[in-house]
Amino acid sequence: MSTVLDNLLTAPVIAFVVALVATLVRFDLRLPESLYPILSTYLLLAIGIKGGKSLAAASMSDLGKPLIAAVIIGVITPLVGFAFSKFIGRLDVVNAAAIAAHYGSVSAVTFTVALASLESRNIDFEGFMAGLLAVLEVIGIVVALFLARGSTDGEGWKSALSEVVRGRSIALLVAGIAIGAIVGEERLAPTDTLFVGLFSGVLVLFLIEMGVVAAERLRDIGAVGWRIVIIGVGVPLVNGTIGALLGAAAGLSTGGIAIMATLAGSASYIAAPAAVRLALPKASPGLYVTTSLGITFPLNLTLGIPFYIALAQALS
C-alpha cells in the first residue's frame, strides 16, 4: 500500500490525476497546442542523452542478456494483446492486430514516469534502458502487423514500418542516445541545467496535457463496451509480469527489472497509432486509442508502476 501511495504522491502523477479529474468535471486545463510538441521533443531528447551517457560506460557483456530479453518481450507482448483482443474482446483480426501493435510497442511517457518514481525512491537502474526502449518501440509493431498480414497490402506495410523506424519519437530518442554516447558525461555537464535540472518540471507540464487527453478518451469507454476495459487492464498486467520475469532472468538490477516490466506493460499512443493508420486503415481508432490511452495509460501511472516496482523487489 505504501508503494502505491509513494507513486501517487509524486508531482508528475498528481499532475496527471488532477488534470484528468478536472477535465472529467468540465474544467479546461488544456495547454496551448504549440507546447505539446516542444515538451515531447524535450523529454525524448533528454531520455536519450541520459541513456547515451550510460551506454558509453556499459560493456557489450552488460547489454547482451537484456537485449535478448527485450527482443523476446517485443515478440511476446503483441501476441498477448492479440489473444486478449480475439478471445476476450471478440474482435476481428484487423482490430485485434491494431490493439496488439499498441501493446507490442511502448510508451515513452510511462517509461519516463517510471524513471522519476525510481529516482524519487533512490532505486538505481541501468542507464542503457533507454536503448531498449528504442528496440521495443519497433519490434512489437512489426509482429502485430505480421499477424494481420492477410489484411494489409505490401505498400501499407512498408509505409507503416518506415513511419515507425523513421518516426519522430524514435529519431529523437536515437539522436539523444548518439549525443550522450559520443560526447560523454563530463563534456555534457554544462547542459545538465537544461536536460537534468528541468526534467521533472517539464514532465509535470506534459502530464497535465496527457491527463486532459486521457479524460477525453475515458468518455469513449461506454461506446466500446466492457470487454475493452478487460483488455486495457489485463494485457498490461500480464505483459508487465512477463517483462519482470525476463528482466530478472537477464540479470538486471531491481530498478532495471521494474523498468523492463514497465516497458512490457505499457502501450504506445504515438508510434503505434501512426503505423496502424497506414497499415490497417480499416481498424477503429475508437478501440485502439481508447484502450491504450484511456485505460492502460492511467492504470500504469497510478497502479501499474507501483506493481512493477513491487514485483521487481520480490524478484531481486
Residues written for the chain: 316
DSSP class of residue 191 equals: G
In this predicted model, which residue has the larger pLDDT, 280 or 91? 91
Residue 156: per-residue pLDDT: 59
Residue in 73, 50, 56 with CA at minimum distance from that of residue 250: 73
| Average pLDDT of span 97-106 | 93
Residue 289: per-residue pLDDT: 86
Give the DSSP H/E element, type plus range, for residue 56: helix 35-57
Q: Are 297 and 210 in contact (CB under 8 A)?
A: yes
Scanning the structure block, which residue is given the C-alpha cell 516496482?
A: 309
In this predicted model, which residue has the larger pLDDT, 28 or 165? 28
Average pLDDT taken over every residue of the chain? 86
Q: How far is the CA of 21 from the CAs of 43, 218, 294, in angstroms?
A: 24, 11, 13
Reported as a single tens digit per residue, the pLDDT across 124-163 is 998 788 888 878 888 888 888 888 776 555 555 667 666 6
Radius of gyration of the chain (CA): 18
Q: Which residues contact 300 (CB under 8 A, 6 or more apart)?
A: 107, 110, 113, 236, 262, 265, 266
Q: Which residues contact 57 (CB under 8 A, 6 or more apart)?
A: 127, 185
- Compute, in degrees rounded to 10, the torsion defined by CA atoms 251, 256, 260, 266: 170
Residue 164: per-residue pLDDT: 66
Residue in 165, 145, 167 with CA at minimum distance from that of residue 154: 145
In this predicted model, which residue has the larger pLDDT, 122 or 221? 122
Q: Which of 73-82, 101-110, 207-216, 221-230 has the lowest mean pLDDT?
A: 221-230
Residue 280: per-residue pLDDT: 83
Helix (H, G, I), strand (E, B) or coil at 29: coil
| Average pLDDT of span 202-206 | 90
Distance CA 140, CA 128 (A): 19
| Average pLDDT of span 183-208 | 89
Residue 161: per-residue pLDDT: 66
Residue 282: per-residue pLDDT: 85
Q: Are 78 and 143 in contact (CB under 8 A)?
A: yes
Q: Are 142 and 13 in contact (CB under 8 A)?
A: no
Cell triple for residue 218? 475515458
In this predicted model, which residue has the larger pLDDT, 115 or 156? 115
Residue in 1, 248, 5 with CA at minimum distance from that of residue 117: 5
Residue 281 corresponds to which amino acid?
P
Question: Sorting pLDDT into bands at 50, 70 and 90, what band is 121?
Answer: confident
For residue 79, is pLDDT > 90? yes
Q: Are 64 and 131 in contact (CB under 8 A)?
A: no
Q: How far is the CA of 262 from the CAs of 38, 84, 118, in angstroms?
A: 25, 19, 12
Reported as a single tens digit per residue, the pLDDT across 264-295 is 999 988 778 878 887 788 888 888 888 998 89
| Average pLDDT of span 247-276 | 91
Residue 68: per-residue pLDDT: 94
Residue 3: per-residue pLDDT: 56
| Average pLDDT of span 43-64 | 80
